[in-house]
A and B are shown apart, each in its own frame.
Chain A
Amino acid sequence: MGDDLTGGFTMIQEEKRIDALTRGECFRRAFFALWLVALLVVGSAGATSAAPKRVATAKPGNCMACHGSQKVLPQGHEDTKAMTFEACKECHTKTGAPRLEGIMPGSHLHQLSGVTCVKCHGKTKKVKAVEMKQCATCHNPDKLAERTEKVKPENPHTSPHYGTELDCNVCHHQHAKSENFCSQCHKFDFVVP
Chain B
Amino acid sequence: MKDESEEKKGLTRRDFLKSTGGAAAVAGIAIGGLAVGTKEAAAAAGPMPKKWDETYDVVVIGSGFAGLAAAIEAKNAGVKDVVVLDKMQVYGGNSVINGGDFCAPGTKLQKENGVEDSPELMLKDMLRNGQYLNHPELAKTVAYNAKDAIEWTESYLGARYTKLNYQGGHSVKRANGTISSSGSELTSKELAKAKELGVKVELRTKLVKFVSNKDGRIVGVEVRKGYKFPDESTGKTAFIKARKAVVLGSGGFSQDIKLRQIEDPRLTDKFGSTNHPGATGEALLAACTAGAMDVQMDWIQLGPWTSPDEKGFGDVPLFCEPLVGYGLMINPETGKRFFKETGNRKERADAIILVGHPVIIMGDSYAVNKQVVPHRLKAAMENGAIKKFDTLEDVAKSYNMPVDTFLKEVARWNSFVEKKQDDDFGCMIFKDAKPTVAGPFYVARLWPKVHHTMGGLVIDKNAQVMGFDLKPVKGLYAAGEVTGGVHGGVRLGGDAMADCIVFGRIAGKNAAGEKAWG
Contacts and interface: CB of A to CB of B under 8 A. Distances in A.
| Residue of A21, A55, A118, A162 contacting most chain B CB atoms (<10 Å) | A162
Interface residues of A, number: 56
Interface string A120-141: 0111110101000000000000
Contacts of B16: 37, 40-41
A29 B27 CA distance: 9
B311 A57 contact: no
Contacts of A26: 27, 30-31
Nearest to B384: A187
A46 B3 CA distance: 14
Contacts of A15: 22-23, 26-27, 231, 233
A1 B231 contact: yes
Contacts of A1: 228, 231, 234
A37 to B, nearest CB: 5
Contacts of A127: 1-2, 4
Interface in A37-64: 37, 40-41, 45-46, 53-57
Given A26-B31, A162-B96, A118 B1 contact: yes
B268 interface: no
A37 B182 CA distance: 48
B414 interface: no
Interface string B477-504: 0000000000000000000000000000
Contacts of B5: 46, 53-55
Contacts of B23: 11, 14-15, 18, 30, 33-34
Nearest to B10: A45
A11 B382 CA distance: 40
B254 interface: no
B20 A33 contact: yes
Contacts of B233: 11-12, 15
A9 to B, nearest CB: 10
Interface stretch (A70-78, A79-87, A91-99, A163-171): A163-171
Contacts of B4: 5, 7, 53-56, 127
Interface in B4-30: 4-5, 7-9, 11, 13, 15-16, 19-20, 22-24, 26-27, 30
B1 A184 contact: no
A161 B2 contact: no
B188 interface: yes
B1 A121 contact: yes
Interface in A85-124: 117-118, 121-124
B184 interface: yes
Interface in B79-94: 89-90, 92
Contact of B30 (A19, A45, A121): A19
Nearest to A42: B13
Contacts of A124: 1
A45 B180 CA distance: 54
Given A15-B233, A34-B20, A161 B92 contact: yes
B20 A37 contact: yes
Contact of B3 (A27, A45, A54): A54
A132 to B, nearest CB: 11
Contacts of A40: 16
B8 A45 contact: yes
Interface residues of B, number: 45
A16 B184 CA distance: 32
Nearest to B204: A129
Contacts of B30: 18-19, 21, 26
A185 interface: yes
Nearest to A182: B311
A2 B7 contact: no
Interface in B31-46: 31
B1 A160 contact: no
Contacts of A150: none
Given A55-B5, A162-B184, A163-B188, A186 B312 contact: yes
Contacts of A121: 1
Nearest to B100: A160
Interface string B65-105: 00000000000000000000000011010001100000000
Interface string B296-334: 000000000000001111000000000000000000000
B188 A30 contact: no
B388 interface: no
A131 B382 CA distance: 37
Contacts of A41: 13, 16
B96 A161 contact: yes
Given A54-B3, A125-B1, A185-B311, A30 B24 contact: yes
Contacts of A162: 90, 92, 96, 184, 188
Contact of B11 (A7, A19, A185): A7
B181 interface: yes
A8 B4 CA distance: 12
5 contacts: A18-B26, A124-B1, A162-B188, A165-B188, A183-B311
Interface of B: 1-5, 7-9, 11, 13, 15-16, 19-20, 22-24, 26-27, 30-31, 89-90, 92, 96-97, 180-182, 184, 188, 226, 228, 231, 233-234, 276-277, 310-313, 379, 382-383
Interface of A: 1-2, 4-8, 11-12, 14-16, 18-19, 21, 23, 26-27, 29-30, 33-34, 37, 40-41, 45-46, 53-57, 117-118, 121-125, 127, 129, 153, 160-163, 165-167, 169-170, 183-187
